[in-house]
Structure 1
Amino acid sequence: MARKAFYSFHYKLDNWRASQVRNIGAIEGNASISDNDWEEVKKGGDKAIQNWIDNQLKGRSCTIVLIGEETAGRKWIKYEMEKSWNQSKGVLGIYIHNLKDRDGNQSSKGKNPFDDFTLNGKKLSSIVKAYDPPYTTSVNVYNYIKENIESWVQKAIEIRNSN
């Protein structure tokens, strides 16, 4: 059975990289949103964004945070992680900085966004896994994610169920 996941990422910087991961197809993900659609959602303000996120999270068993150079500390990514954890969804991170963007560029590795949260006095990063593919070539990074994403999602759900 394919798991259903919500993908959390920095839209402006990482939407190309995120679409590569979402298109792997091993995990059913949230529907992609175009630049124009996202601009419409944002025009509605914080409440509209929150409602859109809340609706996207419905029926998902896991949230996959795609970690780029500037993912950590972003308001809505923090909201998505916290909401997912509080709804007992599996949560995991995948570093995507070595995937190429549409211009063929890679980026610098970003900070672990799970360092920003504590749970019972422990950083969430000590509980939630953030996977960093051990390759620098975009094709190898993609293949590594493709080969492992299903097991990472399953592990995230098991971790959440035990915490």
Structure 2
Amino acid sequence: MAKRVFFSFHYQDVIDFRVNVVRNHNLTKDDNAGYFDASIWEDAKKESDLALKRLINKELKNTSVTCVLIGSHTFERRWVDYEIMKSVERGNKLIGIHINNIRGKDGKTKTKGNNPFYYLGYSYDSTGKKLFLHNFIEGKWVKYSDLDGWNVKEVEDSRRNKIYRLSTSCSVYDWIDDDGYNNFSNWVK
């Protein structure tokens, strides 16, 4: 059965056309590449923070995979962080795809951007019954401010009071080097 995939990205990568290559690659395939596109376009200038959160939450509903399209500055985008953290809360599978090897509308490629999963983390409190979210900013972990933690099934003592980077558990691919055109449907399984 096809997965509903939410795409998270920095809007500049839409302008450069790299996001479009990934999001629309299924249009040239007979099998729909194994997913349905459930993403939204970021338009922060027209929406309040609360309205944007509601819009993101609505678009994430009924998705099972969140695919972060990683460009040069994706790791610095507040709303990409929110989409990732909300996906963690929902239990979505998270994957990242580097898109800077895709030629932009100018015909050029760029060097890989930083992995946004490296800058996001989670921890369990001392009781092991609550999960908290964190950002890695200027070399230190700080509490993630756009989403509260939540109660979880109690975790073992050895997992408490430690911060775990999302990069240790999220697969990241390169659209060109890893042949995303032919492998995307396997990545989102």
TM-score (norm 1): 0.79
The offset of 1:122, in angstroms, is 2.1
Distance of 1:31 and 1:92 partners within structure 2: 14
Which secondary structure state, in structure 2, belongs to the residue aligned with residue 4 of structure 1? Answer: strand
More helix by share: 1
Q: Give the counterpart letter for 1:24 in structure 2.
A: H
Tell me which stretches of 4 or more aligned residues in structure 1 moved more than 4 Å. none
Deviations 1:20-76 (A, max 9, x none): 11112212112564xxxx54x632221221121111111111100000011112100
Q: Give the counterpart letter for 1:131 in structure 2.
A: Y
Contact 1:133 1:145 in 2 (8 A): yes
More strand by share: 2
Contact 1:14 1:101 in 2 (8 A): no
Distance of 1:42 and 1:53 partners within structure 2: 15
Q: Give the counterpart letter for 1:28 in structure 2.
A: F
Which secondary structure state, in structure 2, belongs to the residue aligned with residue 72 of structure 1? Answer: helix
The offset of 1:13, in angstroms, is 3.1
Distance of 1:76 and 1:8 partners within structure 2: 9
* Mapping for residues 17-36 of structure 1, pairs under 5 Å: 17-25=18-26, 26=33, 27-30=35-38, 33=41
Contact 1:73 1:116 in 2 (8 A): no
Are 1:152 and 2:187 counterparts? yes
Q: Which of 102, 105, 119 does residue 102 from structure 1 map onto?
A: 105
Task: Give % identity.
Answer: 35
Which secondary structure state, in structure 2, belongs to the residue aligned with residue 5 of structure 1? Answer: strand
**Where does the alignment leave 5 or more consecutive residues of structure 2 unmatched?**
27-32, 124-162
Deviations 1:72-91 (A, max 9, x none): 12100000000001100111
Are 1:4 and 2:4 counterparts? yes
Distance of 1:13 and 1:134 partners within structure 2: 16
Larger relative contact order (Cα-Cα within 8 Å, sequence gap ≥ 6): 1
Larger Rg: 2
Contact 1:42 1:48 in 2 (8 A): no
In structure 2, what is the equivalent of residue 13 of structure 1?
A: 13
Distance of 1:56 and 1:32 partners within structure 2: 7
User: Aligned residue pairs: how many?
Assistant: 142
Contact 1:68 1:97 in 2 (8 A): yes
Distance of 1:118 and 1:64 partners within structure 2: 17
**Where does the alignment leave 5 or more consecutive residues of structure 1 unmatched?**
136-140, 155-163
CA RMSD of aligned residues (A): 1.9
Are 1:82 and 2:85 counterparts? yes
